[in-house]
Amino acid sequence: MTTEPAGTRPSAHTKAQSLTRYAWLSIATALATIVLKGVAWKLTGSVGLLSDALESFVNLAGALMALAMLSLAATPADDNHAYGHGKAEYFSSAFEGFLILIAAVSIGYAAFGRLLAPQALEDVGVGLAVSVVASVINLATARILLRVGREAKSITLEADAHHLLTDVWTSVGVILGVGLVWVSGWLWLDPAIALLVAVNIVWTGWQLLRRSAAGLMDVSMPPEEIRAIEAVLANYRSQGLDFHALRTRQSGARAFVILHVLVPGRWTVQEGHDWSERIEADIRAALPHVHVTTHLEPQEDPVSLVDEALDR
């Protein structure tokens, strides 16, 4: 027995479609920061600011991929994809993680060359001011994407937001470093900070790749959400029902819950069905983004207790 959210609730397809406008916001932000950070680099000649500008190109590529995958995720289920296309979001976050790693290598290469041959910086004050403006734009966009991503359970928007936040902190480090070079005259600080930036974004890229792989491998729902399901089931256990073989998996913005419901064997099919409908409705009330599938079994039948494993 399977259930979908009530008809008055927006469909997963409609929700996914509405998320694409935030991908466009991320694209616009990436273009704006590329221009601003590029100007800051040209004015100063700082390899630290160059590394910051290069990461904005990664932001743009990630945002374009996010738009493509959110559009695909919004495609309704069809005969070949009965569970929908939600997993497309994991390809986006994995792609962005891969791009981050490429950017880190590029930054490290440029910084190592500058470390061997330091160069004086120019027009530092104006360059830093431009970079600060770019960072503020990134911060504002990241906060919006993170809020919407968490509300909609979109790993694509969350990944984009975390990347932008990393970019903000990277920019803060670069700005402080370039400022110190300006004040102290220690030219080695500029490429040294760029190398630290590269190490920092390698960590971000790895985290995105790891989370994407977990989603593609049908990772279970988060522990707090499983506890919410268990709380619903505990209420029904107190009324004489029992449950087992609870399985969950995350698929982009959607999640799937499967469980076996053990009811008295003397009940009619109608009685068992009615109770299952109530259980499914309560789980959806606790976790509105889930699709619930239940399987009725008689409590008295020993066979009901030997099918907890995935492969019976």
- Residue 70: how many other CB atoms lie within 10 Å: 27
CA distances from 135 to 33, 65, 73, 216, 247 (A): 8, 22, 30, 33, 43
Contact 179, 128 (CB under 8 A): yes
- Can you tell me the distance from the alpha carbon of 103 to that of 242, in angstroms, rounded to the nearest whole number? 53
- pLDDT tens by residue, 119-155: 665 556 777 788 788 889 989 999 999 898 888 878 7
- pLDDT tens by residue, 221-259: 889 999 999 999 999 999 989 998 899 988 777 789 999
User: Does the domain formed by 223-305 have CATH 3.40.50.720?
Assistant: no
From the first residue on, what is the mean pLDDT of each consecutive set of 10 residues in the chain (312 residues)? 49 60 89 86 74 76 83 80 78 78 74 68 68 88 90 80 77 73 74 76 79 79 92 92 90 84 93 94 91 91 69 54
As annotated, the residues of the chain forming the CATH 3.30.70.1350 domain(s) are 223-305
CATH T-level assignment (fold) for domain 2-216: Alpha-lytic protease prodomain-like (1.20.1510)
As annotated, the residues of the chain forming the CATH 1.20.1510.10 domain(s) are 2-216
